[in-house]
Structure 1
């Protein structure tokens, strides 16, 4: 059983479990496996061969389990690309970083959510606080959310539990009643309103919908989907 204190740390086992439950899926582009489907599927945009996707999956699992660095992953990326003759989009260093950081951040996010929602942890920490990453070039909306404290069951966390975009390093901090008082607060904040946005995929012309303040495709809670939604209920995976 996870203790209240260990819930504050990085959820290695839960993150690993999240990654292991995924089904391998090929794709022709990044919108093929859309939004919530990413919580149940492991895919690499543009990787159309199962063996290619599986090779990347093994390296991401190794990174999560053994602490493989980005530079080490970049070397493995190059080897995999050469072995399969993959003609990928973007420069190798950039593409390797996107695959590495996005998959690891989603796994860590899901693991943290799993720990933070255990009954014993929720009883001790009934509130969650949005914590900005401190990036040198912050997204204005993420910075505006910094410090916001809401109940753990607030609908805001359904669509804005970080990461909230490519390269987003924001996180959620559990807060107790005593912690709320130590911050000088008399109560929680008002939840930000969820405002819809539309974006056109320049390559395909497809209209993508999302939520303001979150990169398109990221407005869902990966841990929540992993823990609560059966694979058959996730759009795009019904036949997988």
Structure 2
């Protein structure tokens, strides 16, 4: 099996694009949960970083790691230089080697994973797959529920994916692959007959998230980009006569003809008569 740490350092177009959408809004925050869920698709934050120039330099370091596939150690060197240059003090982990190692690992891996999976969401949506397959990441200390979802194959529009498209917790290394046939699911190691647990929609009262999903992680990274495009389309055609609206939507659907997004646009066009 390929080393996942190496795989996730190989940048690809959709991953870089997903991260750079966030660079349009550098948001100062005091706590990690000042921004929640889909808000992260459109904003870059580092908890405790409240100055614009500091945030800009931290964002540049993360962008370098994602776009060039640089290692955690190189990111740590860039992080130390940024902290020293801006005189940033009071950040969680400061003053202890173990604390700094933990904080830089969290910043690096969280941004790498969420941008990677947002890029994968775009690829899978564009790929027009019949099935999306959930795979456990092979952690040495697996989360039991994540392990129970391993191999489950569901349609892309199944509600399971809206809250459980990985990562589903800090450090989660689960991932999703696509297949067009049941035989394709099996070739990839999935099981097209495997059912979801009977209580898969249960909510954890401690977090308010679905069971198996950490607080703040109950969303699909990158999915809000698709939702936003559909809302823009609906807003544009709302006051247009059908003879103008229909060609407009048909043209967009043609551009995404072999994708799930194309199907959604065709559904909108069909409703225009």
* Offset of residue 193 of structure 1: 2.1
Match of 2:137?
Answer: 133
Kept after mapping to 2: 8 A contact 1:150/1:188? no
**Is the CA contact (8 Å cut-off) linking 2:27 and 2:44 kept in structure 1?**
yes
More helix by percentage: 2
Question: What is the CA–CA distance in structure 1 between the aligned matches of 2:159 and 2:228, rounded to whole Å?
Answer: 16
Partner of 2:48: 46
Residue 89 (structure 1) aligned to one of 92, 112, 128: 92
- Assess if the C-alpha contact under 8 Å between 1:150 and 1:189 holds in 2: no
Residue by residue over 1:143-194, the C-alpha shift from the partner in whole angstroms, topping out at 9 and shown as x without a partner, is 1111111111111000000011111110001122131465695646347622
TM-score by length of 2: 0.72
Task: Give the match for residue 240 of structure 2.
Answer: none
Match of 1:179 in 2: 184
User: Does the 8 A contact of 1:46 with 1:88 survive in 2?
Assistant: yes
Matching of residue 195 in structure 1 with residue 194 in structure 2: no
- Note if contact 1:39-1:223 (Cα within 8 Å) is conserved in structure 2: yes
TM-score by length of 1: 0.81
- More strand as a share of residues: 1
Distance 1:184 1:131 in 2: 8
Give the aligned length: 211
Give 3-state SS (helix, strand or coil) of 1:24's partner: coil
Structure with more relative contact order (C-alpha pairs < 8 Å, separation 6 or more): 1
Q: Deviations over 1:104-141 (max 9, x none)?
A: 111110111101111xx21xx31011111111111111
Partner residue in 2 for 1:70? 72
Q: Which runs of 5+ in 2 are unaligned?
A: 1-9, 94-98, 233-273
In the alignment, the residues of structure 1 paired with residue 101 and residue 109 of structure 2 have an alpha-carbon distance, to the nearest angstrom, of: 12
Distance 1:126 1:186, change over 3 A: closer
Output the CA distance in 1 between the equivalents of 2:204 and 2:166: 18
Q: Aligned-pair RMSD on alpha carbons?
A: 2.2
Q: Is the 8 A contact 2:152 2:192 kept in 1?
A: no
Local SS of the residue matching 1:174: strand
Structure-2 change in CA distance of 1:151 and 1:76 (3 Å):
same
CA distance in 1, matches of 2:78, 2:185: 45
Tell me whether 1:106 sits opposite 2:114 in the alignment: yes
Unpaired runs of 5+ in structure 1? Answer: 1-9, 200-207, 234-240
Q: Does structure 2 conserve the Cα–Cα contact (< 8 Å) formed by 1:11 and 1:112?
A: no
Distance 1:215 1:131 in 2: 18
C-alpha contact (below 8 Å) 1:64/1:104 kept by paired residues: yes
> Could you tell me which residue of structure 1 aligns to residue 221 of structure 2?
222
CA contact (8 A) 2:149 2:196 kept: no
